[in-house]
Amino acid sequence: QADIAMYEVKAHGRNDLCFFDPQMQATINARAQLERDLHAALKNNEFELYYQPQYTLQGQVVGAEVLIRWHHPERGMVSPIEFISVAEESELIMHIGQWVLRTACEQLAAWRTQPAASALQLSVNLSARQLQQREIVAQVLSILEETGAPTHLLKLELTESTVLVNVDESIAKMGQLKAQGVHFSVDDFGTGHSSLAYLTQLPLDQLKIDQSFVRNIGLKPTDGVIVQTIIGMARNLGLEVIAEGVETQLQQEFLAEHGCTLYQGYLFCKPVPLTAFTTLLAQTQQPDAITQ
């Protein structure tokens, strides 16, 4: 690369050779700007939760996954794919994560008196760094208490890698939350490296089949086999199973044929703002209250 300049830097009393790449510097600057913007976003209320409904085979809405959206004052809508990973590199994710949890729980509490919504579960994504946090259990419990959200309607989504950062600690923390009624789902299931042995030790309620496998149903036979295997595994472990990223009728039929009971994806509904979700609820059937 022609635009790489070399600088000699005196450090620790010796001459270290450093490479300076303007492209790399631009990336670093952009990242620093993003971090500053995220701090401002928290202060200025620029985040919003979108709701993506989760359906039974009969078309009933049993809950929703909440997905964060950021309305950047200059850039418009910024995808969580772009900013969550940056937030995860600092304390920012704790603050954003808390905001998401609190907002979701406030919504659960507000729905308590609305018959069309009072049995809905909300799935909240939890980052590895949040789970690793020493006070996470106390934080989740105090948010539940302060908002008055029914504990059993909160479902936390963790990826396999999140859990594996420190398995024993994860099991202990999840166990404490589970004892209070909080539910757990393994997000993006099948893409990580968790072994069956670990899996059975975790106090789980649900496996969520990763959308990369769902996408390849009918296209890549081995992914079809993986999907079948996950559904079978969930059944044998007594866990609920949900497919994410369901986009086609063919995918849905394959999943149903193999025993998948819950569905989430563009075929049914995209993630939508609260008002649209509420409208949708009024037009869809809900099953009877889930009590546990």
194 binds, among Mg ion, ligand C2E, none (CB under 5 to 8 A by kind): none
* Closer to Mg ion by Cβ: residue 205 or 244: 244
157 lies in the binding site for Mg ion (CB under 5 A): yes
The tokens for 130 are 């949040």
Give the shortest CB-192-to-ligand C2E separation in angstroms. Answer: 12
160 lies in the binding site for Mg ion (CB under 5 A): no
* Closer to ligand C2E by Cβ: residue 26 or 71: 71
Question: In angstroms, rounded to a whole number, what is the distance separating the alpha carbons of residues 63 and 51?
Answer: 9
23 binds, among Mg ion, ligand C2E, none (CB under 5 to 8 A by kind): none
6 lies in the binding site for ligand C2E (CB under 6 A): no
Residues in contact with ligand C2E, counted by CB under 6 A, come to a total of 22
Q: 35 exposed, middle or buried (CB, 10 Å; 0-12, 13-18, 19+)?
A: middle
37 lies in the binding site for Mg ion (CB under 5 A): no
Question: In angstroms, rounded to a whole number, what is the distance separating the alpha carbons of residues 15 and 155?
Answer: 54
Beta strand pairing call for 154-159 and 5-11: unpaired
17 binds, among Mg ion, ligand C2E, none (CB under 5 to 8 A by kind): none
Whether the Cβ atoms of residue 160 and residue 189 lie closer than 8 Å to each other: yes
Region near ligand C2E per CB under 6 A, out of 30-38, 80-88, 169-177, 217-225: 80-88
Q: Exactly one of 96, 111, 155, 188 binds Mg ion (CB under 5 A); which one? A: 188
The β-bridge partners of 215 are none
Query: What are φ and ψ of residue 185, in 5° steps?
Result: -130, 145
Q: 183 exposed, middle or buried (CB, 10 Å; 0-12, 13-18, 19+)?
A: buried
